Amino acid sequence: MSSDFVIRLAGEAVYTVLKASAPMLVIALVVGLAISIFQATTQIQEQTLAFVPKIVAVLLAVLLFGPWILTTLVDFTQNLLSNLPNYIG
């Protein structure tokens, strides 16, 4: 295994993780921004108002995007394991 191979494999792994986590991060960002705007306009500074809706939104995103995330991770793992003899040799 060369250093180029290890760097390429690590890059693919990081890309896969970013791709799999992107839906939850984007939804949490949008919900957090909407709640921040609501708090700024109403001057309500309650911490649970910002925390609970984001948790619920991320949970719903996991339920909605879960099959796609699982497929993405399984595809990466299958590709890695099927090409393992090529990597070692």
pLDDT at res. 89: 61
Structure pTM?
A: 0.79
- Look at the chain and report how many structural domains it folds into: 1
Q: Work out the average pLDDT over 62-88.
A: 91
Q: 87 or 78: which carries more pLDDT confidence? A: 78
Terminal C-alpha separation, the chain? 8
Q: For the ranges 17-26, 38-47, 72-81, which has the lowest average pLDDT?
A: 38-47
Domain span holding position 39 = 3-88
> Within the chain, what is the greatest distance between any pair of CA atoms?
64
User: Rounded to an integer, what distance in angstroms lies between the CA atom of residue 82 and that of residue 23?
Assistant: 28
Is residue 24 very low, low, confident or very high in pLDDT (cuts 50, 70, 90)? very high
From CA 62, how far away is CA 1, in angstroms rounded?
36
